[in-house]
DNA sequence: AATTCGGGGCG
DNA sequence: CGCCCAGAATT
């Protein structure tokens, strides 16, 4: 067996040899660390990097972010998913500037009070920016520690996370929590991966309980299989003689909250005929339907069967009795934060429309 | 404790 | 197609 100290040392040793160079690793600025951590929640490093670069470029400090419009923040976030992260990021930036006099919270207990900051993110900022002695427990850590110590409980249960947190906190290097935490996560990400971890070259293979009990394939399992709800969306792209169109903002507590979309009608099941313009609150007898397309859009908890149509008139201007719709020039639509699905239809059409 | 919030990439 | 990703908020 190895002592806690030996495990920690070996981890940090491994990290010195294998650490990736990542854009947020060479800063101690709590704002930049916070930004990177919010982006990386449930997001792969590769997917997050370009978003981080764009955000730092546009919002180099907390004041620039606080001063921005939410619409612009969401536009920059477009495509990353889990849009409440962006709204909470913006909200907390304003909170820090206005209520905390621009002083970034400087310890775990203050950080976790911020909207959008939970146990993982608070620990990450506290240890990376302030070298506070709190362990980070993310998906990587849960997987690695559960294997190393032979914890075979479902990985998504709070009780399991509690166990893992307690074990991990005991391992932490109190002089360098920052390095230790980075090493812990990096090891999970690069060495102790979900599928086919590199046990053959693992510095812990001799003491890894799951490995020695040949339980690796059964580790880090979730408790339940996700049930996906089916939804049926009908979107209409209206285009009139002035090349203007209608969009609407999603405000309900639902997917894509805060984003914009083409006028939508949702049905509880598949319907054979596409809704007429009047069903959208648009009255225009000159509209001709074209560019009918359908997509199957997969989210974590939903399967969206989406159909699109383009209703076009070259002779009349659009008018609507639906207060939720507002008219914009068609070529301005890309200035709005759009769900990936809407963007997909528009890009599929852009060649046709030009 | 269970559910919901996206989207991309991988085997 | 199912799984996972530097999780958190809500119910």
Q: Give pLDDT tens digits for A88-97.
A: 999 999 999 9
Contacts of A146 (CB under 8 A, 6+ apart): A152, A153, A155, A160, A164, A210, A219, A220
Instruction: Give the nucleotide at minimum CA-to-C1' distance from A85.
Output: C8
Does residue A66 have a pLDDT over 80? Answer: yes
In the block, residue with structure tokens 């959208």: A280
Instruction: Give the C-alpha separation, A47 to A260, whole Å.
Output: 22
Instruction: Quick: pLDDT tens for A302-319.
Output: 999 999 999 999 999 999
* Beta-strand pair A264-267/A244-249: unpaired
Q: Is the CB of A226 under 7 A from strand C?
A: yes
Active site residues of A: 37
Q: Give kind and range of the element (H or E) at residue A104.
A: none
Round to a whole number and report the distance in Å from the CA of A328 to the C1' of B11.
44
State the pLDDT at residue A294.
96
Q: Please state whether A307 falls in left (phi above 0), alpha (psi between -120 and 50) or beta.
A: beta
Residue A140 has a CB neighbour count (10 Å cut-off) of: 20
Q: Are strands A260-261 and A326-329 parallel, antiparallel or unpaired?
A: unpaired
Nucleotide nearest to A124 (CA to C1'): C6
Q: Is the pLDDT of residue A172 over 70?
A: yes
Q: Residue A354: is its pLDDT beyond 90?
A: no
Question: Which nucleotide shows the minimum CA-to-C1' distance to residue A195?
Answer: B11
Measured over the CA atoms of residue A14, residue A20, residue A26 and residue A30, the dihedral's sign is negative
Q: What is the reported pLDDT for A224?
A: 86
**Inter-helix orientation angle A84-98/A70-77, to 10°:** 140
Q: Is the pLDDT of residue A133 over 80?
A: yes
pLDDT at A103 over 90: yes
Q: pLDDT at position A139, please? A: 97
pTM for the predicted model, two decimal places: 0.96
- In angstroms, the CA of A319 and the C1' of B2 are apart by 45
On the question of pLDDT at A351 being above 80, the answer is no
Give the per-residue pLDDT at A218.
94
pLDDT in the model for residue A352: 73
Region A230-257 average pLDDT: 97
Give chain A's mean pLDDT: 96
What is the model's pLDDT at position A134?
A: 98
Q: Rounded distance, CA A69 to CA A56, Å? A: 16
Q: Phi and psi at residue A278, in whole multiples of 5°?
A: -60, -30
Nucleotides of C under 7 A from a protein CB: 2-9, 11
pLDDT of residue A280: 98
């Amino acid at each position: 067996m190895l002592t806690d100290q030996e495990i920690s040392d070996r981890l940090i040793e491994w990290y010195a040899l294998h650490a990736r160079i990542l854009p947020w690793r060479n800063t101690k600025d709590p704002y930049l660390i916070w930004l990177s951590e919010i982006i990386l929640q449930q997001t792969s490093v590769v997917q997050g990097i370009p978003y981080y670069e764009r955000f730092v470029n546009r919002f180099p400090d907390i004041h620039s972010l606080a001063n921005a419009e939410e619409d612009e923040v969401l536009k920059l976030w477009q495509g990353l998913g889990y849009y409440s992260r962006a709204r909470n990021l913006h909200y907390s930036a304003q909170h820090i500037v206005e209520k905390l006099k621009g002083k970034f919270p400087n310890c775990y207990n203050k950080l976790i009070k911020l909207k959008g900051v939970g146990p993982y993110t608070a620990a990450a900022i506290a240890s990376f920016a302030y070298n506070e002695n709190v362990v980070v427990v993310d998906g990587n850590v849960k997987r690695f520690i559960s294997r190393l110590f032979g914890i075979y409980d479902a990985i998504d249960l709070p009780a399991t996370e509690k166990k893992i947190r307690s074990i991990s906190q005991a391992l932490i290097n109190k002089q360098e929590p920052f390095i230790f935490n980075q090493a812990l996560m990096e090891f999970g990400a690069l060495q102790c991966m979900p599928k086919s971890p590199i046990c053959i070259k693992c510095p812990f293979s001799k003491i890894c309980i799951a490995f020695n009990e040949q339980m690796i394939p059964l580790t880090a399992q979730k408790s339940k299989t996700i049930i996906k709800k089916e939804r049926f969306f009908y979107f209409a792209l209206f285009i009139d003689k002035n090349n203007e169109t209608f969009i609407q903002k999603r405000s309900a507590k639902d997917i894509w909250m805060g984003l914009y979309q083409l006028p939508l009608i949702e049905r509880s099941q598949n319907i054979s005929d596409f809704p007429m313009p009047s069903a959208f609150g648009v009255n225009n007898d000159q509209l001709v339907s074209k560019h009918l397309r359908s997509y199957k859009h997969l989210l974590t908890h939903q399967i969206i069967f989406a159909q699109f149509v383009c209703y076009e008139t070259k002779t009349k201007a659009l008018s609507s009795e639906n207060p939720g719709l507002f008219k914009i020039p068609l070529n301005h639509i890309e200035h709005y934060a759009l769900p990936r699905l809407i963007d997909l239809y528009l890009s599929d059409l852009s060649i046709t429309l030009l």
